[in-house]
Structure 1
Amino acid sequence: MFLERYHSIQDGNVLISARQGSRFAKEIAGDFNPIHNPDARRFCVPGDLLFALLVSHFGLFRQMTFHFRSLLGDSVPLSFREDEDGLIRVYDDRGKVYIEVEHQGESTQDQNIIEHLIRSYVAASGKNFPHTLKPLMEDQGVMFNPDRPMIMYQSMNLSLETLDAPEPELELGHAELVPDGKRGNVTLDYRLMSRGEEKGQVSKKLVVSGLRDYDAQAMDEVVEHFYRLKEKAWD
């Protein structure tokens, strides 16, 4: 499975090092958020990697809702399990929950189908910034702290009409940012397309923290830094 190089197993637990999490963000998602840099003071494992590992382990269901409960740091021992209430959760060794998943309907363990869906979903996530979020912030006249940009997952809902959707691609249909004090609530709605036909829907909710008035020059510098990091990663 293509996820092997982005995590390890130790004493029956899943571990994701800062280097593995950063590599996944850059190589699979095209995500160069500084919070995913291995040497970041507040390093955070990409939520997309937890999503990918969870679906790879438990299978892909036609209806899934992911609730991201906590930010995950470097090399935390994790256990993935389905509890008696039917929810799938990811715990650390102290019982802290990082992600919680509701699921129902038909499922598949076909790793080929799962990998294609993961890659499609993560590729869309990699376009969150600057492609999608910058215009939303500009339109609302707000932005994150340019010295410490924080964009966090809150939840994601996946609804599939069929599990057999070859060559899946996510097309953004609706994007909205609603400022609420120092935070911005973002909703991104996608159509899951397969060879020109809609086969499902994906809806994501994000939180942008530390909102302040929009500063075009500061935002331009953030975007330029993003692309410099991207170019450096592929040199």
Structure 2
Amino acid sequence: MILAEYFTTEGDKVAFSRQQASRFAKEIANDFNPLHDIDAKIFCVPGDLLFAVALDRFGLSQKMCFHFAGMVTDSQLIFSDSAGEKIDISDDEGKKYLSIQRQGPLSQDHQLISNLTQSYVSFSGRTFPHLLVPLMAEQNVMINPGRPLVMYESMEISLNTLHIQQPLLESTGSTLEVQGKKAMAELKFHIMENGREVGHGAKHMALRGLRAYQEEDMQKVVDQYNSYKQAYGS
């Protein structure tokens, strides 16, 4: 993965074109969420791309939490590092889009950061349909087929050590907490290297506009998603 292909920089400022963000979603994250389509009426830059750029620019801390505060469209963001434990990513007008909390030792090992990023993005790309659809069926709810809203809320990662090179993420279970027409999904994982656990974490997704689960309607959404995915790769 050549991360620099998916954004442009000018000092501390980072910009993402729709083409760059959409390519990252589909070609790197295996994410075909309609929100990442170039011509989407409601478009946003993938949270996984913001995560990848943040690690690339700020390094990897032993404990990190990422909280997404808004959808990035075509805004130019300021990735300005600080010596403190908190970093806020905002646009030129001061609107915050991402907050990062970090603790512990810091690594600038490019290979480790690249390997962890690719492993996390690969895990994250399985969110839909592999992880979310079984959760929705279990809770008897589903997203609106006509306007599916599944948004990245936050993620956290905790490493036992930074003296690793080839970390791999493996799912350790998922849950879906439903509150009316809204729900929060928690996708847990542990981080492995050479058969031993070296860390753990979780990804949190917000679902909106929920309705009663209908097997046939949900299968149409999945089929459409898979068809779009196959067509893009052909």
Is the structural similarity TM-score above 0.5?
A: yes
For 2:59 and 2:81, locate their aligned partners in 1 and report how far apart those are by CA, in whole Å.
12
Is structure 2 residue 207 aligned with structure 1 residue 217? no
Task: Provide closer, same or farther for how the CA distance between residues 197 and 67 of structure 1 changes in structure 2, counting only shifts above 3 A.
Answer: same
Distance in 2 between residues matched to 1:142 and 1:114, nearest whole Å: 37
When normalised by structure 1's length, the TM-score is 0.96
Gaps of 5+ in 1: none
Contact 2:111-2:165 at 8 Å conserved across structures = no
Indicate the residue corresponding to 1:39 in structure 2: 39
**Partner of 1:229: helix, strand, or coil?**
helix
Q: Which amino acid aligns with 1:115?
A: S
Amino acid at match of 1:159: S
Do 2:34 and 2:40's aligned partners in 1 also have CA atoms closer than 8 Å?
yes
Q: Aligned partners of 1:115, 1:83: CA distance in 2, in Å?
A: 22
Partner of 1:71: 71
The AA in structure 1 aligned to 2:169 is: L
Structure 1 partner of 2:146: 147
Residue type at the aligned position of 1:108: S
Shift, 1:167, TM fit = 2.4
Answer yes or no: is the 8 Å Cα contact 1:166–1:195 preserved in 2: no
Percent identity of paired positions between Structure 1 and Structure 2: 43
Cα distance change, pair 12–172 in 1 and its aligned pair in 2 (3 A): closer
1:141-200 deviation per Cα after TM superposition (whole angstroms, max 9, x unaligned): 001111111111111111001113332211111200011111111111101111211100
Moved more, 224-233 or 128-137: 224-233
Displacement after TM superposition at 1:128 (Å): 0.3
- Aligned equivalent of 2:206: 207
Q: Give the letter aligned to residue 124 of structure 2.
A: S
Superposed counterparts of 1:146-185, under 5 Å: 146-185=145-184
Deviations 1:21-62 (A, max 9, x none): 110011111000111001000011000000000010000000
> SS in structure 1 opposite 2:93?
coil
**Structure 2, gaps ≥5 residues long:** none
Q: Number of paired residues?
A: 234
Cα RMSD after superposing both structures: 1.4
Structure 1: how far apart are the matches of 2:159 and 2:223? 37
1:106 aligns to what? Answer: 105
Q: Which whole-Å CA distance do the structure 2 matches of 1:131 and 1:49 have between them?
A: 21
Q: CA deviation at 1:85?
A: 5.7
Q: TM-score, normalised by structure 2?
A: 0.96
Alpha-carbon deviation of 1:83? 5.1
Moved more, 149-158 or 111-120: 149-158
Q: CA 1:191 to 1:221, structure 2 compared with 1: closer, same or farther past 3 Å? A: same
2:20 pairs with 1:20:
yes
- Return the letter of the residue paired with 2:53: L
